[in-house]
Amino acid sequence: MSTKTVFLETVKSRLAALKADADLLQSKAGRIGNKELRQYTRTIQEILAKIQQVEKRFTTSSKANVDTWPALKRKTEDAFIQIEALVKKAKETYLH
């Protein structure tokens, strides 16, 4: 199996896990106080938007040629780091 194929499979798996995290955060919105709810909702929306960006990049990545592949891979990895940080912060801040 090529490195690209392995990476794309990893992306699928990580996206599924992040979507599950976003769903969990959305399901817990009722536990958030009114004062914090607006920021909590914005955070969830930001997470979902970044997931969509990765999904779009994922589609592009699967069609990428040898020259563009490294840059797409790097951008995807950077996006995962950002999303995972947002999820972690939301869980720590609002679901304590």
Identify the domain containing residue 52 by its residue range: 3-94
**By the 8 A CB rule, do 90 and 32 touch?**
no
Check residues 95 and 85 and name the one with the higher pLDDT.
85
What pLDDT sits at residue 8?
86
pLDDT digits (tens, 9 = 90+) for 24-76: 999 998 888 888 999 999 999 999 999 999 998 877 766 777 788 888 889 99
Which CA distances in Å does 73 have to 27, 35, 55, 61, 78? 31, 39, 12, 7, 9
pTM of the model: 0.85
Cβ contacts of 25-32, under 8 Å, gap ≥ 24? 25/87, 25/90, 25/91, 25/94, 25/95, 28/94, 28/95, 31/94, 31/95, 32/94
Q: What confidence score (pLDDT) does residue 38 get?
A: 92
- Report the domain count for the chain: 1
| Nearest-angstrom CA–CA distance, 56 and 65 | 16
More confident residue, 84 or 34: 84
